Structure 1
């Protein structure tokens, strides 16, 4: 049996671990695998956090009175570290069952603690499906929501005849063959500023249906079909409703002009089923570089390790829920 134990402070290469941990960015400023966390200097003022979570067990990001939320879990953990109440503000509010690999959060420090204390302390008090990835000091006028320039999501479809087991919580399963190229072509009509009334939930509270999509791409990587979309903001269920329509195109039931037809109708009741929440991942919020937030490989994590680390085209994560004709399978939070 291999003995994995190494002397304290020495890694398997024989190099001091502190030297490796200190090298946290490559030549292009991207974060590398290991980070060093300062445990000496107390952080004060306003802090930004990078937060990752599996949304399966939560009503969504936003705190609700009688339901478990990611916001409540994070605020409880940070309050324990600070020994005082902490309230956080996020870059975006994810729905029930939606995951995040890079949710940006800010809060004002009620008590000085080191970088290591905030990260390790919060994670020690968080449930296993939520984690703080990093913490940074930011100027007092930084705001996670209002200073965000764009938000990016990836929707992951597992397209194979057999249902997944190990990955069932983080992908949507579609047993019917999908034409990813046709889906990509159909989606391009959505790029730009449009009225997305046909793709907003009936209960959407936004004052306007107009949104600006910067790009939307659909790629296949083996059994995975990934819808990658970035915009200034999104309506309630907007991405999941778009994916529902794209799956109809991918199955060959409608042509490349289908989404253009739906958008022109401006009527949600005439569009397709809403795709399940479990395939959706909030992967990035973009900010001006002046705020000094770290650049990270985009998630889900398997995508990062297969493609983003090397600078290649991202290869998607393989997270279940069958996308049946007409209605999503039971068992996935909507």
Structure 2
């Protein structure tokens, strides 16, 4: 039995040593996925299938649509993820560029994406407590800190959202999907962009228009703040189907409740969860400040998340039209602006 275990371990380590980004043929991809038998999901860029490199190593294979873009997503993923390694960033195992066939091979994360656990619509999983969500938030922030400060070049993700946070067996979060990422020198305070990128509801105002400030690493901070607020509310930040119209735009409703010293009406399962929710909400509100210079760095975000006891102080209103002296009557302007930003042209 010992000899058999040793052989098993040796085989696993040999397989694992080979897990630097490897170039696969399309025939390899078909073999790894058992001819695309087990579909895990689909998105704008392609379909994702479960695969197996060996009996010990499972992977997720994203088969990219031939008609999608000019190859920028593929180049971004391979060029960015092939050089970085962090416990809170999904590992790129390999890739395929075989004629017009392109695929990306990632480590397999069995619990899937975070959105399945915080948005209840049609999902079985809706059982993560606030302490677990706090740990997930902290892990995501550590991953962002690595991208912003721990690499040779600063990596701006530009698409931080629940769907792009994957969870392993122990619910440790890993940032995925670097198709929209940009690299910049650490000393630069801003990056140039020719078009807005990201997902509506998580995109910082300055990404739409330079009128709102320069695009920088602070744009990822904004997206992380919107993600935090969705984790607290276990709902989308913009939801026109809620019964109370004041709750359509959740961040503004949360800010009003906190200014008045009222609870956030979350479902509390254990003692202390209300305190955790309040802290996460306040950190999220700091992160979504309208002006990029008013948002904290990810290092300061981590300090706020780590802090024990008292929640951080409440930030100024992130909503340009909200009267802080009358939080019980939040204006609809923030909601109109959130949905109307898509039509604002970029100024460069």
Q: TM-score range by the shorter chain?
A: under 0.3
The higher-RCO structure (CA 8 Å, 6+ apart) is: 1
So what's the TM-score if we normalise by structure 2? 0.23
Q: Of Structure 1 and Structure 2, which has the larger fraction of its residues in strand?
A: 1
Normalising to structure 1: TM-score of the pair? 0.24
